[in-house]
Each structure stands twice: as C-alpha cells, then as structure tokens.
Amino acid sequence: MRIHPVEASEIFNALPDIGQVTVASPSNIALVKYWGKRPIQLPENPSVSFTLDACRTVTTLSYKKIATPSDQIDFEVLFDGVSKAAFKPKIAKFLERIKEYVPWITAFRFTIDTRNTFPHSSGIASSASGMSALALCLMQLERSVLGKMNEVAFQQKVSYLARLGSGSACRSTLGPMMVWGRHDQLEGSTDQFAVKYPLTIHEVFKSYHDTILLIDKGEKQVSSTVGHDLMHGHPFASQRFEQAHANMNRLITIFAEGDLDGFIEVVESEALTLHAMMMTSLPYFILMKPHTLTVINKVWSYRKTTGAKLCFTLDAGANVHLLYPENEREEIMKFIQSELTQYCQNGHYICDKVGLGAKIV
C-alpha cells in the first residue's frame, strides 16, 4: 500500500488564509518492541502496543498563508507557550520528510504550540505523542480543504506521516491496541503505518492499567536513533527479529482468550530482550538503574505470594511501566504505593491506562 501525495495544485488555491487546529495525542507502550529499523523509519520486526490515555501531547497548529511560498518550510515552535529553538531541528527534519506527501505545507507559516500533560523531564519520550499530534493537525488541515477523504485512508495517512517523525509515533493515532510492521497472521498489517489490532481482543485488555514509575528522569544515555542503528550488525539481530514474530503469534491467542499468565510471560520477556539487545551491542549500554532491578524483583515476589496479574515492561530507559487489569487495581495500587514508589525519583509516578488514540480538540 502506498500513500499518495495530494497534488499541490489540487489544494493550493483552496487553502484557507489563516486558522488553527488543536489535537491531543497520547503516548503508547509497546508489548512487543520495535528495535531496529531500515530507511526510512521502516521497522525490522512487527510490534504491538497499548495506546495510552493520560500521557498526552496537546498541540495547536496555527497557520497563515504566505505571499510567496518557497521551498523552505516556515515555522516556529512554542513549548508551554515559550519559544523552543531546541525542538526545531527534529521538527524541521520531519516536515522535510513529509513534504512530498503534503506539498501544500510550503504555502504557510506555522506556529506549533505544544505542551505535554506529563512532566517534561520525566524520562518519558514525548516523540510518539508529539509527532502523532502534529501529523493529525496537518491532516486535519488537509481534510478541511479536500473534504472528501475516507476515514480509513485518512487514518492511514496520519499514521504514515507520524511514522516519518518517530517510528513508534505511528502507533499513537488510534487504540486500544495498534500493530505496526508486517506479520503474516495479522491482515492489513504493514511496515508503512500502524493499524488497529485486527483480531479479537478480550475485554480484560481494553481497560488495562499502566502505572509508570519514574525511576530516573534524566536525559536518555542513548537516543533511540542510535539504539536502532546498533541493531545493524548486531550478533543476535536475526534471532531477535524472528522472536518478535513468534511473540506476536503467541499474543494472538493470549489477546483472544484473556490469558493473563501468557501475557505476563511475553511482555516481560520482550522488555528484558530489548535491554539485552542494548547490553550486547557494540558499544554496549545498561539503561536500567539499580532501582529498576529492585522494582522488578519486588514485582516478581509480590506476584509469587499473591498470584496478582501484575507485570512490568520497559522502554529504552530506566522507568518501569506496571501493567495490570482493572479488577485488581485497588490491591495493586496499595502495593505500588506502599512498596514501590519509594524507588521513584522524588516519589513520582504516573497513573495511566489504555486509551483510544489522537483526537481533534
């Protein structure tokens, strides 16, 4: 499937002179991890994620037509209402990349006013929520002019554009679960954009909780770009990509049957494999901190003594995502508060849950 660019001439004349659109888009947490890519932002293996709800980026895109469009894309970025030059290079690269699919963007001067509902320096990547928010803003503007896009094609293009900003961003557009990357058992799955998980999802997963323990709020030691690159020539790369396919396969039955023990096994194994890949690359990295390991061990012994269906997953950092079903929320929250939050930096954690994706506000 290919995303077709809109003919510039088809849209230029119809573009509004001035206006704005606001979008709120969530973060997502991968259950099977994407780690390793080929140009441009295409995944080496399929991944599946829970779309989140509380951790969001809210972006207002203001646009004003310019008298003589040039090839340069004219924009400024505000973060929490203050000009943020540091964000410009990444957004400039994104806009350059997507220009061939939305050529009309050169007709405007944009102000991209963005803020996150989660603390800026929390160690939570804002690229997934931020890039998906911006992609939806632009597509909403395109749709307001063309007015005739079918919803499926619209969503595919939002996700396709978001992917070009940050790979995992393509999985934030809809929910509750998104698949990105071709998998032979999942019809409609593609490397080009994420789609809603197409098979049966047991009710238990539709209200799953994710409590994020902020173990270390510092800047990441390794950017995900560098991390993905380290999978080129990695001694275990091909086994890892095969394992991701096999784990996706296992999850098909687990998701359909609500098999929480199976879910725990696949999800924790995926998290540890992601970190194992970093530990066995050259150069090698350890992104977990001592408190990450303490929390993991406490989760394991709590599960052993209580039988609670609590498990963890990790991103490319030290923070721990604790996943558990709604019907165990009260008990598990008591455990988290009494036993685990002491290992969070300044005691900080975020309560999130599965959500439905980016929304126009």
In 269-302, which positions are buried (b, 16+ CB within 10 angstroms) versus exposed (e)?
ebbbbbbebbeebeeebebbbebbebbbebbeeb
Least distance to ligand PMV, CB of residue 9, Å: 34
Beta strand 108-116 with 74-79 is parallel
Q: Is 244 exposed, middle or buried (0-12, 13-18, 19+ CB in 10 A)?
A: buried
**CB-based contacts of 93, cutoff 8 Å, min separation 6:** none
**CB-based contacts of 137, cutoff 8 Å, min separation 6:** 21, 22, 23, 59, 60, 61, 112
Least distance to ligand PMV, CB of residue 315, Å: 5
Kindly give the interhelix angle for 88-98 and 151-165, rounded to the nearest 10 degrees.
130
3-class secondary-structure state, position 112: strand
Least distance to ligand PMV, CB of residue 43, Å: 8
Question: Judged by CB, which is closer to ligand PMV: 107, or 164?
Answer: 164
Least distance to ligand PMV, CB of residue 111, Å: 25
Question: Judged by CB, which is closer to ligand PMV: 62, or 173?
Answer: 173
Question: Judged by CB, which is closer to ligand PMV: 107, or 133?
Answer: 133
Which of 225, 162, 190, 191 minimizes the C-alpha distance to 357?
162
Least distance to ligand PMV, CB of residue 303, Å: 24
Least distance to ligand PMV, CB of residue 149, Å: 26
Question: Judged by CB, which is closer to ligand PMV: 216, or 315?
Answer: 315
Question: Judged by CB, which is closer to ligand PMV: 143, or 289?
Answer: 289
Question: Judged by CB, which is closer to ligand PMV: 103, or 167?
Answer: 167
Least distance to ligand PMV, CB of residue 150, Å: 27
Least distance to ligand PMV, CB of residue 271, Å: 9
The token duo for 124 is: 């939570």
Question: Judged by CB, which is closer to ligand PMV: 35, or 335?
Answer: 35
SS3 content of the chain, % helix, strand, coil (to 5): 45, 25, 35
Least distance to ligand PMV, CB of residue 166, Å: 4
**Contacts by 141-150, CB closer than 8 A, 24 or more apart:** 141/19, 141/21, 141/61, 141/63, 142/6, 142/11, 142/102, 142/104, 144/16, 144/21, 145/11, 145/14, 145/15, 145/16, 145/104, 146/6, 146/10, 146/11, 146/14
Q: Is 97 exposed, middle or buried (0-12, 13-18, 19+ CB in 10 A)?
A: middle
Least distance to ligand PMV, CB of residue 249, Å: 17
**CB-based contacts of 339, cutoff 8 Å, min separation 6:** 298, 302
Question: Judged by CB, which is closer to ligand PMV: 162, or 344?
Answer: 162
Which of 60, 65, 61, 62 minimizes the C-alpha distance to 17?
65
For binding to ligand PMV (CB under 6 A), which residues are involved? 30, 33-35, 47, 125, 127, 166-168, 224, 228, 274, 315-316
Question: Judged by CB, which is closer to ligand PMV: 228, or 240?
Answer: 228
Question: Judged by CB, which is closer to ligand PMV: 195, or 274?
Answer: 274
